[in-house]
Amino acid sequence: MTRTPARPFRSREWFAAPGRSDMAALYLERFMNYGITPDELRGGKPIIGIAQSGSDIAPCNRIHLETVKRAREGILAAGGIPMEFPLHPIFENCRRPTAALDRNLAYLGLVEILNGYPIDAVILTTGCDKTTPSSLMAASTVDIPAIVLSGGPMLDGWHEGELVGSGTVIWRSRRKMAAGEIDEEEFLQRAMESAPSSGHCNTMGTASTMNSIAEGLGMSLPGCAMIPAPYRERGQMAYETGRRIVEMAYDDLRPSQILSRASFLNAIKLLTAIGGSTNAQPHLVAMARHAGIEITPDDWRSGYDLPLIVNMQPAGKYLSERFHRAGGIPAVIAEMLAAGALDGDVMTCTGRTLAENVAGAPTRDRDVILPWDAPLMEKAGFLVLTGNLFDMAIMKTSVISDDFRARYLARPGQEGVFEGRAIIFDGSDDYHHRINDPALNIDANCILVIRGAGVLGWPGSAEVVNMQPPDHIIQQGIMSLPTLGDGRQSGTSDSPSILNASPESAAGGGLSWLRTGDMIRIDLNAGTADALVEPDEIARRKTEPAPPIPESSTPWEELYREKVGQLGEGGVLDFALKYRRTSEKVPRHNH
């Protein structure tokens, strides 16, 4: 049966090339060398791109070497023509100086592929942290039908009968080793056993967070985010994703029709309910800006007063395998909709509303997904702070432990307010070399501050703000000191840091003039963070040389530093924001 697409397929401009048979011949000719037929390319079926993020150098996404096989079968079954192509790899754990450099680079590459090749719609294969935002940023820029296929998290990790979550176990084991509770061999063994299978982090780190956000935004099929990579349902989801993207191509259902201000506000609120990663802040802002939507500090405050209902590390106890079995993101969304906390009328990639997608979604395990009115924590969102040290920074309140709250936030008459003596480190090497230096005289009333860790200073912004106390403090039983910085921290960290400070030190932000010994006052009630330094002294310090930053090591680092914006605004390439819906104008012929 002949079907008529809602908008003529872009690929016809290549393979039919009206009035230019010479160009059609050129475009068709080389595809023949692997056995595809002219009828497939010229028969009017949509060409479905599969953006392959899996490779040996990106182990979190390597599962997609298998999932795309089922996605291809789904595409073919629905009447589409699959074309797989590689993406720039992004691997958080291994990339130096930081994988944050790669998000914008992968974005640029994907925009060029989607814009310049005969692709009518695309499956975005995601997994590791930045593969999700980079892909969705590009999908918004080009604006062809797009759908997210997550590779899924690893199975739950176990060590001697104890759940060990990827990333989180490393930060917790560091403290145990510093306290003398475990040795180096035990530390390594605990870390290795947190990675028992294919897939990305099994905690609610940035990978699980961003794939959950993609589902909450309506850009993946219901239930896609949390199916563990080895489960049979992952292959089934890949097949259904392949079938669905063909329908989206015929319906011309594009990101611009799905990603709205209401859907991004939903995402901020979902982030609170699941105890999501602090890295979601720059990524969500970046995705919104490329979709033509501005997210303000007040928008983050709209999610602050909501409860945490997912009991998953690092804010809770369990890992992703049990969360999936409990009902995953559809169950959480259904719980939030029932409480009136989300807008259920937003459009999704299914062609139905968010509320329609999750109607009847059950919660099967109340130890993992708690009732809205009996949560793990009240008011568990991201707290936005401002002051003379930065215009904006965030703090993840769902990981404030009872011990930390009692030690720093419970002074009678001063609840939620603490003051501490600043200990300044210029980058993580400085921190690791000097954290145990007795000359710093670090005690329980200090605030550890790291600078030179932002988009310009690192470059790229590094996950280094979650600094642990010196060994002698840990041996006193104090596992966390207040920490602050212009970089990021791992989404698997359970540290209640103040981070993503913008503008950063390297851009002239307040951390550039802060000195060791200065007193800092943090008021969580007012949302302020200020160094208690007189204005005249601040002005004098600003005349002094800025803290040193390393030179760029590659051409991309230099170009990145020239074009990138601050974390508070998403860390995007600001010049790229003006390019939207580029697919509406087909590029000119190449010969």
Which amino acid, residue 494? D
DSSP class of 439: G
Determine contact, residues 425/487, Cβ cutoff 8 Å. no
Q: Assign 523 a pLDDT band (cuts: 50, 70, 90).
A: very high
d(CA 522, CA 520): 7
| Of 74-78, 168-172, 285-289, 425-429, minimum mean pLDDT range | 168-172
Which amino acid, residue 585? K
pLDDT score of 447:
98
Q: Is the pTM of this model over 0.85?
A: yes
Other CB atoms closer than 10 Å to residue 513's CB: what's the count? 23
Q: Which long-range contacts (CB under 8 A, 24 or more apart) does 90-94 make?
A: 90/53, 90/58, 90/128, 90/129, 90/130, 90/131, 90/134, 91/57, 91/58, 91/59, 91/60, 91/128, 92/60, 92/128, 92/129, 92/130, 92/206, 92/207, 92/463, 94/57
User: Strands 47-52 and 121-126: what pairing?
Assistant: parallel
DSSP class of 410: -
Which amino acid, residue 129? D
Q: Assign 190 a pLDDT band (cuts: 50, 70, 90).
A: confident
pLDDT score of 431:
97
Percentage of the chain with pLDDT > 90? 90
User: Is residue 265 predicted with pLDDT exceeding 80?
Assistant: yes
pLDDT score of 160:
84
3-class state of residue 262 by DSSP: helix
The model's pLDDT over 532-577, given as tens digits with 9 standing for 90+, comes to 999 999 999 999 998 989 999 999 999 999 999 999 999 999 999 9
pLDDT score of 159:
86
User: Is residue 2 predicted with pLDDT exceeding 80?
Assistant: no
Q: Assign 113 a pLDDT band (cuts: 50, 70, 90).
A: very high
d(CA 450, CA 448): 7
User: Is residue 100 predicted with pLDDT exceeding 90?
Assistant: yes
Q: Assign 58 a pLDDT band (cuts: 50, 70, 90).
A: very high
pLDDT score of 191:
83
Q: Assign 172 a pLDDT band (cuts: 50, 70, 90).
A: confident
User: Is residue 71 predicted with pLDDT exceeding 80?
Assistant: yes
Determine contact, residues 344/302, Cβ cutoff 8 Å. no
Q: Assign 299 a pLDDT band (cuts: 50, 70, 90).
A: very high
Q: Average pLDDT of 36-52?
A: 96
User: Is residue 450 predicted with pLDDT exceeding 60?
Assistant: yes
3-class state of residue 409 by DSSP: coil
The model's pLDDT over 213-248, given as tens digits with 9 standing for 90+, comes to 999 999 999 999 999 999 999 999 999 999 999 999
User: Is residue 584 predicted with pLDDT exceeding 80?
Assistant: yes
The model's pLDDT over 321-345, given as tens digits with 9 standing for 90+, comes to 999 999 999 999 999 999 999 999 9
For all residues of the chain together, what is the average pLDDT?
Answer: 96
d(CA 191, CA 194): 5
First to last CA, the chain: 35
The model's pLDDT over 119-138, given as tens digits with 9 standing for 90+, comes to 999 999 999 999 999 999 99
C-alpha closest to that of 147 among 237, 70, 55, 35: 237
Q: Average pLDDT of 186-208?
A: 92
The model's pLDDT over 459-496, given as tens digits with 9 standing for 90+, comes to 999 999 999 999 999 999 998 999 999 999 998 888 89
pLDDT score of 187:
85
The model's pLDDT over 570-581, given as tens digits with 9 standing for 90+, comes to 999 999 999 999
For 313, the token pair is 């590390």
Percentage of the chain with pLDDT > 70? 100
User: Is residue 92 predicted with pLDDT exceeding 90?
Assistant: no
Task: Provide the β-strand partners of residue 393.
Answer: 385
Q: How many Cα atoms occupy the beta-carbon half-sphere of 389 within 13 Å?
A: 29
Q: How many Cα atoms occupy the beta-carbon half-sphere of 429 within 13 Å?
A: 5
| DSSP string covering 339-391 | TT-S-TT-B-TTSSBHHHHHTTPPP--TTTB--TTS-SBSS-SEEEEEETTEE
User: Is residue 196 predicted with pLDDT exceeding 80?
Assistant: yes
pLDDT score of 188:
87
Q: Assign 176 a pLDDT band (cuts: 50, 70, 90).
A: confident
pLDDT score of 558:
98
